Amino acid sequence: MPAVVKAFIERHIQHIKYPSKKSEIIAACVSMAEMPKADREWIEQNLPDGTYKSADEVVRALKL
């Protein structure tokens, strides 16, 4: 994943309320008009099911 895309995703998931389930994170990403559809789809495909306590946990789970 290009560094620019990684930085973009990291910046946007910081604004999600935690703890959050994968489904809640995906829903939040869908509501972010500035997040490209391809990035949302990548997160949905690569984020394991679970509940995340922070954006840092999401980043680790996505192996960014």
Residue-wise pLDDT tens digits, 11-62: 888 888 999 999 999 999 888 888 888 888 888 999 999 999 998 899 899 9
How many angstroms separate the Cα of 9 from the Cα of each of 18, 46? Answer: 16, 13
The whole-number pLDDT of residue 15 equals 84
**What residue numbers bound the domain in which 53 lies?**
3-62
pLDDT bucket at 4, cuts 50 / 70 / 90: low
In one-letter notation, the amino acid at residue 2 is: P
The whole-number pLDDT of residue 12 equals 80
| Whole-structure pTM value | 0.83
How many domains, in total, are found in the chain?
A: 1
Rounded Cα–Cα distance for residues 44 and 5 (Å): 15
The whole-number pLDDT of residue 47 equals 95
Token readout for 29 is 């990403």
Rounded Cα–Cα distance for residues 37 and 56 (Å): 22
